[in-house]
């Protein structure tokens, strides 16, 4: 019996630091852990899967006819934006998970292990990317079943997915900061609802900017959610398939603007998060 719990004789020479390769492997293991968690938490899976599908169905069939005149027209307009909105909501899980680790002591356990200091954070963010990819795939698939068509090509579509993942990567840092500052995981979710709902709805995700009152239009136009949605529409649908009011002239401008936003968000929130985390632990 004691063999199981016996101490291992310490090797003569212990390595003084973690290699990059080891760090990457540890990151993969921690990402695996975050994905496996979903299996035991069906609610979370519902958030990536059922909730976005409900949004697509609801907006397409209940409001779509009224907003765009026909449901298939509306789906073409709204689906890329819904994907953007969904992406932002999913990033909140980075913060919820991190906060759970911090409050339950798991984060301390990880920090007491001989692993790369950046691995726990990198693992979370990598897992988030997997969840994001799954969600984008699911929304596109359900969209296709309901009549959404890719008007561009494979490369443009992949560019859209890449842009979404990159934006998610940057926005994760906002989630990390909320996760570090919040007292408990529920507060992180609460932030998600109270802050992300207005930001995503005051955009052109569900209706074109031109249909809104004049005072609101500049706000909506400069909302990064609008910009990213336009970029995704341009990359997924192209400019031929939609009527003038819904028209996206070219992909270049919104794509470049999205990249600038992503860089700005990461530049502000990554250092802020790391600073806040150092203070908390």
Partner 1 sequence: MDHAIQAEGLVKRFGETTALDGVGLSVRAGTVLGLLGPNGAGKTTAVRIFATLLRPDDGHASVGGYDVVRQAHQARQLIGLTGQFAAVDEMLTGTENLLLIGRLLGMPRPAAKQRAHELLNDFDLADAADRAAKTYSGGMRRRLDLAASLVGRPSILFLDEPTTGLDPRARTELWTLIRRLVAGGVTVLLTTQYLDEADTLADEITVIDHGRVIAAGTPDELKAKTGSQTLVVRPEDDTQLPVVTAVVAELTKAVPEVDGPRVTAPVTDPAVLPAVVRRLDDAGVLVTELTLRGASLNEVFLSLTGRPVEDEPETEGRPA
- Compute the distance between CA of residue 42 and CA of residue 64 in angstroms, rounded to an integer: 30
Residue 245 DSSP label: G
Task: Map residues 154-193 to x or -, x wherever contact with partner 1 holds by CB under 8 A.
Answer: -----------------------------x----------
262 φ/ψ angles, rounded to the nearest 5 degrees: -60, -45
- Compute the distance between CA of residue 131 and CA of residue 214 in angstroms, rounded to an integer: 37
Q: Is 213 in the site for partner 1 (CB under 8 A)?
A: no
Task: Map residues 44-83 to x or -, x wherever contact with partner 1 holds by CB under 8 A.
Answer: ----------------------------------------
Residue pair 206/193 in contact (Cβ under 8 Å)? The answer is: no
Task: Map residues 86-115 to x or -, x wherever contact with partner 1 holds by CB under 8 A.
Answer: ---------------x--xxx-xxxxxxxx
Interface of this chain with partner 1, residues 28 to 47, rule: CB under 8 A: 29-30, 32-33, 36-37, 40-41
Binding span for partner 1 by CB under 8 A among 4-12, 54-62, 137-145, 188-196: 4-12
- Compute the distance between CA of residue 152 and CA of residue 52 in angstroms, rounded to an integer: 23
Q: Which two tokens stand for residue 263?
A: 């860089």
CB of 107 to partner 1, least distance (A): 8
SS3 annotation, 162-209:
HHHHHHHHHHHHHHHHHHHHCCCHHHHHHHHHHHHHHHHHCCCCCCCH
Helix axes 20-39, 42-58, angle to 10 degrees: 70
Q: Which residue lies nearer to partner 1 by CB, 110 or 150?
A: 110
Q: Is 130 in the site for partner 1 (CB under 8 A)?
A: no
Q: Is 239 in the site for partner 1 (CB under 8 A)?
A: no
Q: How big is the CA angle at 74 (ends 68 and 78), to the nearest 5 degrees? A: 125
Q: Which residue lies nearer to partner 1 by CB, 14 or 154?
A: 14
Q: Which residue among 12, 16, 145, 194 contacts partner 1 (CB under 8 A)?
A: 16
Residues near partner 1, by CB under 8 A: 1-10, 14-18, 22, 25-26, 29-30, 32-33, 36-37, 40-41, 101, 104-106, 108-115, 119, 183, 281
């Amino acid at each position: 019996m004691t063999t199981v719990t016996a101490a291992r004789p310490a090797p003569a020479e212990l390595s003084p630091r973690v290699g990059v390769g080891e760090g990457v492997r540890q990151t993969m293991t921690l990402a695996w852990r975050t994905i496996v968690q979903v299996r035991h938490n069906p609610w979370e899976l519902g958030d990536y899967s059922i909730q976005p599908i409900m949004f697509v169905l609801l907006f397409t069939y209940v409001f779509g006819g009224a907003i765009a005149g026909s449901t298939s027209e509306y789906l073409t307009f709204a689906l890329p934006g819904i994907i953007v909105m969904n992406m932002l909501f999913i990033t909140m899980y980075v913060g919820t998970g991190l906060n759970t680790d911090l409050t339950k002591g798991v984060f301390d356990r990880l920090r007491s292990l001989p692993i790369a200091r950046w691995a726990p954070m990198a693992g979370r963010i990598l897992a988030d990317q997997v969840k994001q990819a799954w969600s984008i795939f699911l929304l596109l698939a359900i969209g296709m079943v309901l009549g959404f068509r890719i008007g561009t090509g494979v490369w443009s579509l992949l560019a859209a997915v890449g842009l979404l993942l990159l934006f998610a990567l940057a926005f994760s840092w906002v989630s990390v900061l909320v996760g570090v500052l919040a007292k408990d995981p529920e507060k992180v979710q609460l932030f998600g609802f109270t802050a992300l709902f207005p930001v995503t709805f005051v955009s052109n995700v569900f209706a074109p900017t031109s249909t809104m009152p004049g005072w609101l239009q500049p706000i909506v136009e400069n909302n990064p959610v609008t910009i990213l949605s336009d970029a995704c529409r341009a990359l997924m649908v192209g400019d031929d398939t939609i009527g003038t009011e819904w028209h996206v002239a070219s992909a270049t401008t919104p794509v470049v603007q999205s990249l600038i936003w992503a860089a700005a968000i990461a530049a502000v929130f990554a250092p802020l998060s790391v600073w806040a985390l150092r203070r908390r632990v």
